[in-house]
Structure 1
Amino acid sequence: MKFTRKANAEWKGSGKDGQGNISTGSKVLDKTQYSFRTRFEDGEKGTNPEELIGAAHAGCFAMQLSFLLNENNFTATTLDVDATVNFEDGAITKVTLNLVGDVPEIDAEQFQQIAHKAKEVCPISKLLNTEIELKVTLKKS
């Protein structure tokens, strides 16, 4: 499978006092505001690159895990993935994926193994040049 996706960022002004917007080809994000404050301070409405990386990683990982579970004859009821992106001294230093899964008829060890494989083969995991930690919880149905 081969495809291309596009996004756009527009920035006006200085790094600290300027502001910008981000749009995606799908228009899910359409001139979504971002600024120094949305990136480095809390409380301002808008997005930031690290939040978008976290969303992309969580989404990619959950879908990859779903495919791998299907290959092993399991179907998840729910895969809930939180991604925490740590930024320090100008670099993303770590991403923590916190997975809570509800998968009927799978044992905890097999779920752990498949989840860790998904972390390794997820295209966003491969893209990131940082430590990626995975925490896995299997709900008991």
Structure 2
Amino acid sequence: MATIRTARTAWEGNLLDGKGLVTLASSGIGEYPVSWASRAEQANGKTSPEELIAAAHSSCFSMALSHGLTGAGTPPVKLDTQADVTFQPGTGITGIHLTVTGRVPGLDEADFVKAAEDAKANCPVSKALAGTTITLTAKLAG
């Protein structure tokens, strides 16, 4: 059964001086201010489309990796994932770098990296962002 998630943005003004408010409507967890300056310069307490993509990608990747590791008989104790989305004004999103550190008893570094590469290739958000270069750094903790 398909699930639909909804977010809305109300925008006022032109691109450079305007401002918007992103509402995470499905979850109801909040409204977040957004502006061109928060996208192209400094966040200053506002979000950006790229930060929202980073949140979606890091969480989707973590879920996919957890699922893959568990399916292989080595469930993770903890995964810590960061997604860095690079935005170049005038060009757009030029890349995404995922960094994951995991605590996975009974798994060696090579198998962890292999599982992370598989999750990177197959998580639904990675697939949706297939037109962007996605890179990965994966390591076991400790």
TM interval, shorter chain, is over 0.9
Q: TM-score, normalised by structure 2?
A: 0.93
Letter in 2 for 1:61: F
Letter in 2 for 1:76: P
Letter in 2 for 1:96: H
Report the CA distance between 1:32 and its aligned residue.
1.0
What SS does structure 2 have at the residue aligned with 1:31?
Answer: strand
User: Structure 2: how far apart are the matches of 1:35 and 1:81?
Assistant: 26
**Aligned-pair Cα RMSD in Å:** 1.1
User: Structure 1: how far apart are the matches of 2:55 and 2:22?
Assistant: 14
Letter in 1 for 2:125: I
- Structure 2 counterparts to residues 15-26 of structure 1, below 5 A: 15-24=15-24, 25-26=26-27
Q: Is 1:133 aligned with 2:127?
A: no
Q: TM-score, normalised by structure 1?
A: 0.94
Report the CA distance between 1:99 and its aligned residue.
0.7
Structure 1 spans left out of the alignment, 5+ residues: none
Letter in 2 for 1:126: K
Q: Is 1:75 aligned with 2:64?
A: no
Report the CA distance between 1:119 and its aligned residue.
0.5
4+ long deviations beyond 2 Å: none
2:40 is aligned to 40
Letter in 2 for 1:83: A
- Identity of matched residues, %: 37
1:93 is aligned to 94
What SS does structure 2 have at the residue aligned with 1:84?
Answer: strand
Report the CA distance between 1:43 and its aligned residue.
4.7
Report the CA distance between 1:100 and its aligned residue.
0.7
Structure 2 spans left out of the alignment, 5+ residues: none
